[in-house]
Amino acid sequence: MTKSKRIINRILILAGMVLIVLSLVKLFGASRTITDYPTASKTPDRMTEQADDWSGEIAYGVTYAALTPLGGDENVTADVRFDPADDYWGLPRSDGVDLVAGYCSVCHSLAIVMQQRQDVEGWTYLLDWMEEKQGMAPLLADDRAVILAYLSREFGSH
């Protein structure tokens, strides 16, 4: 064995020992972390905080969206609520709100309109259904376009 080889061997052994010590420290440290780690989410105190934070509703949508986990909520205006005290019953104020408030409150409450989440096709079907089966006077083409755009924008499904 040459001198230089012996030196390299010693360096390797030294490096090996350092590595072993380092990983022992790491292991020891890690196991310490595990044993010392307070079961944070399980302590009654923090559970109470979590219970306080809870929305009050079980997220059924999450399971159903299993095939498209990132699908998200269907509607941009999901928290728009029917409000009998508001001048426009809580309808979002955007182009067409007065037409919808006027036409669609004659026979029924806007509560039934505001519960829906439909795309353009779905809203078209509903407007046809109002006209053909429910006795709504046919909408003027211009008004219909504005109403359709309003409904599928504010109460759409995406």
Partner 1 sequence: MTRQPSEPDKPSRRILLKSITGASFLSALGAPIPFLGNLPTGLVPVALAQGTSSLSQQKPGLTVLNDRPVNMETPPHLLDDAVTPAARMFVRNNGLPPASVDAHSWNVRVDGEVETPLDLSIDDLKTQFETVSLQLQIECAGNGRRFMKPAARGNQWSFGAISCATWTGVRLRDVLDRAGLKENALYTAHYGADTHLSGDPAKHPISRGVPIAKAMEPHTLIAFAVNGDDMPPLNGHPLRLVTPGWPGSCSQKWLTRIEVRDQIHDGAKMTGQSYRVPRAPVHPGASVADEDMAIIESLPVKSLITAPQTGIRVSTGDTIEVRGHAWAGDLDVAALDISIDFGASWSPADLSAPTNKYAWQHWRSEIRLPEAGYYEIWARARDAEGHMQPPIPPGWNPRGYLNNMQHRIAVFAL
Q: What is the rounded CA–CA span in Å between residue 158 and residue 156?
A: 6
Q: What is the rounded CA–CA span in Å between residue 52 and residue 46?
A: 10
Q: Map residues 56-95 to x or -, x wherever contact with ligand HEC holds by CB under 6 A.
A: ----------------------------------------
Which residue, 23 or 115, is less far from partner 1 as judged by CB?
Answer: 115
- Contact residue for ligand HEC among 89, 91, 96, 130 (CB under 6 A): 130
Which residue, 49 or 86, is less far from ligand HEC as judged by CB?
Answer: 86
Q: What is the rounded CA–CA span in Å between residue 75 and residue 51?
A: 26
Which residue, 83 or 117, is less far from ligand HEC as judged by CB?
Answer: 117
Residue 104's binding partner among ligand HEC, partner 1, none (Cβ under 5 to 8 angstroms by kind) is ligand HEC
Q: How many helices (H) and strands (E) does the chain have?
A: 7, 0
CA distances from 143 to 31, 40, 71 (A): 70, 58, 33
Q: DSSP readout, 128-151?
A: HHHHHTS-PPPPPHHHHHHHHHHH
Catalog residues that contact partner 1 under the rule CB under 8 A. 41-44, 47-48, 50-51, 54, 56, 58, 60-61, 63-66, 71, 74, 83-89, 93, 97-98, 101-103, 105-109, 111-112, 115-119, 121-122, 125-126, 133-140, 143, 157
The one-letter amino acid code at 75 reads: N
Query: Nearest distance from residue 144's CB to ligand HEC, in Å?
Result: 8
Residue with tokens 């089966």: 133
Chain residues in the site for ligand HEC (CB under 6 A):
103-104, 106-108, 112-113, 116, 126-127, 130, 134-136, 147, 151
